[in-house]
Amino acid sequence: MTKVVTIGEIVVEIMAVAPGNGFREAIELVGPYPSGAPAIFIDQIAKQGQPCAMVSCVGNDDFGWLNIERLRQDGVDVSAIRVHEDAVTGSAFVRYRTDGQRDFVFNIKHSANGHIGLTDEARAVIASAGHLHVMGSSLVSPGIIEAVLFALEQVKARGGSVSFDPNIRKEMLDFAGLRAALDTVLAQTDLFMPSGAEVLLFSQETSEDAAAKDILARGVRAIVLKQGAAGARYLDGEQDLFVPAFVVEEIDPTGAGDAFGATFLAGWLAGLDAETNLRRANGAGALAVGRKGPMEGTSTRAELDAFLAQQVSA
Ligand code: ATP
Ligand code: MG
């Protein structure tokens, strides 16, 4: 089976209990929860039974070990997660706004994540990987960009494949190196998984449909457009299909895109047909939104199969 590697941030997430606007007042918080988009993604990859590893860095503190132990337990190769003695584990604070949008405060750049780079352990897991997944939101530190570009070259040179989820948050757009890195990654991408309108950041076209077709024409093999509670669309050179999401109560949508994307990637690597695969990925997204905490909503293959079986008989 193909080993999947991803490179990027690990954080703990601390969440405001009540919705509101930002963090400029004293409010009740819950957490810490293991988090970081690439960490959630790789946790779901492992739970789906796919061999995988993560390149990252945490501090030698409770927040760091909380994450490492969770990933290890769930089956991720954590040998390239560096434990840095002079840095602290990153954190992200999230608060839902009353309109359902989210406010984030990130402490990533000045945390252990700023020390992610090409260690010997990172080179070793990259050398063993047949697939690289890139989270665009991770491309905000020079060390991560360098490691991702190195991994892109290595994995592609040996005939491996690349998937890419931009996962852009508005808070990140002012990082100077981000734009060039995103474009370089897209040019090497086989499977592109943006959420909805994000696709417009990668084309001169003004509709999602035309942008997706333009990107396929430029050499990306397949695109999955995540559309939140509506569902998801799949396009490649031959097929164009939409599968609606499952109707569930949304408790915490953070991490749904990562659980969805990882499940779709595992199916894609296994050669599953696009319609079956979208349904499975939608199922993983539905399970993810039903649980509070970003990584708490990841699901094993057995949990996902049980959920999907229930939907058929309902
Ligand atoms: P994030 O980056 O916040 O994790 P995203 O924008 O990458 O999210 P979404 O489109 O929000 O990804 O969600 C991914 C998938 O999860 C959707 O395509 C859908 O299958 C499922 N999903 C998301 N929200 C809901 C919901 N409210 N009800 C059911 N399924 C949902
Ligand atoms: Mg996302």
Give mean pLDDT, residues 132-145: 95
Indicate the number of domains in the chain: 1
- Tell me if 245 CB under 6 Å of ligand 1: yes
DSSP state of 115: G
Residue 85 Cα to ligand 1 midpoint, Å, equals: 36
Checking if the pLDDT of 128 tops 60, the result is yes
Checking if the pLDDT of 99 tops 60, the result is yes
Do 154 and 127 touch, CB atoms closer than 8 A?
A: yes
Query: Beta strands 161-165 and 191-192: pairing type?
Result: parallel
Question: CA 61 to CA 63: how far, in whole Å?
Answer: 6
Residue 237 Cα to ligand 2 midpoint, Å, equals: 24
Question: CA 103 to CA 85: how far, in whole Å?
Answer: 30
Give mean pLDDT, residues 170-177: 80
Residue closest by Cα to atom 6 of ligand 1: 195
Question: CA 175 to CA 105: how far, in whole Å?
Answer: 15
Residue closest by Cα to atom 26 of ligand 1: 229
Residue 222 Cα to ligand 1 midpoint, Å, equals: 19
Closest-lying ligand 1 atom to the alpha carbon of residue 281: 20
Q: How many residues does the chain have?
A: 314
CATH of the domain at 36: 3.40.1190.20
Q: Give the pLDDT confidence of 206-242 residue by residue, as tens digits.
A: 999 999 999 999 999 999 999 999 999 999 999 999 9
65 is in which domain, residue-wise?
Answer: 4-313
Give the confidence band of 313 by pLDDT, cuts at 50, 70, 90: low
Checking if the pLDDT of 85 tops 70, the result is yes
Q: Give the pLDDT confidence of 149-160 residue by residue, as tens digits.
A: 999 999 999 999
Residue 233 Cα to ligand 1 midpoint, Å, equals: 12
Residue closest by Cα to atom 20 of ligand 1: 282
Residue closest by Cα to atom 1 of ligand 1: 257
- Tell me if 58 CB under 6 Å of ligand 1: no
Ligand number, closest to the Cα atom of 228: 1
What residues pair up with 53 in beta bridges, in sequence order? 5, 77
